[in-house]
Amino acid sequence: MATTLWKQLLLNAIDSNANLKHSSFFQLATVGSNGRPANRTVVFRGFEEGSDKIQINTDCRSRKIDDIRHCPFSEICWYFTSSWEQFRFNGRIEIIDGSNFDPDKVQKREKAWFASSLRSRAQYLGPSPGLPCINEESSKESSIDPTKGPVDAFCLLLLDPEQIDYLNLKSNKRLIFRSEQSDERGKCWLTEEINP
């Protein structure tokens, strides 16, 4: 699979900002069942192998899961402070949780689980996010067996980009990338330069 221009721009931005720890974080916006937007910071976990889909790990008990089930469309905003580049990804999110028995998706979820650090995995053993703390026991770190697969609370999200808005503030250049489904080739991308 050939690397698309937007993906190469993103990989270059990730590489040129790699010395900044915060460069692997971006904001994910969803729409709740009440019609209101919700925004939070999440961690980039790479691309799904052989595709343009962006991987995000999350707790299936978090509010973002309810938001995505209500409306699977989301937007990511990712700003790279060293290179002055902003990427906005608009697309549909797929949820892969423990209730999915498709062998390919089970494998993707397991691969994402084992690619995470033990500390990150241990967070999924804690109490449900967003609920009041009941006692001090709930805030203690739980230990996790490094050889066991994903716990029930672990969920993999895959954002399939449909449009990318790229802005480079150093060069004052802005590009829009729009996906178009092509029967024989799958997804293809159209690029348009627009005013910043």
Report the half-sphere exposure of 176 (CA within 13 A, side-chain side).
9
Give the count of beta carbons closer than 10 Å to the beta carbon of residue 47. Answer: 15
For residue 186, pLDDT beyond 70: yes
CB 13 within 8 Å of CB 27: no
Q: b/e string for 157-194 if b means 16 or more Cβ within 10 A? A: bbbbbbbbbbbbeeeeebbbbebeeeeeeeeebeeeee
* Structural fold of domain 5-127+139-194: Pnp Oxidase; Chain A (2.30.110)
For residue 114, pLDDT beyond 80: yes
CA 5 from centre of chain: 19
CA distance readout (Å), 94 to 71, 164, 174 = 11, 18, 28
pLDDT digits 0-9 by tens, 162-183: 999 999 999 999 999 999 987 7
Q: Is the dihedral of CA 130, 23, 167, 185 positive or negative?
A: negative
pLDDT digits 0-9 by tens, 82-98: 999 999 999 999 999 99
pLDDT digits 0-9 by tens, 11-53: 999 999 999 999 999 999 999 999 999 999 999 999 999 999 9
| Domain limits, the chain | 5-127+139-194
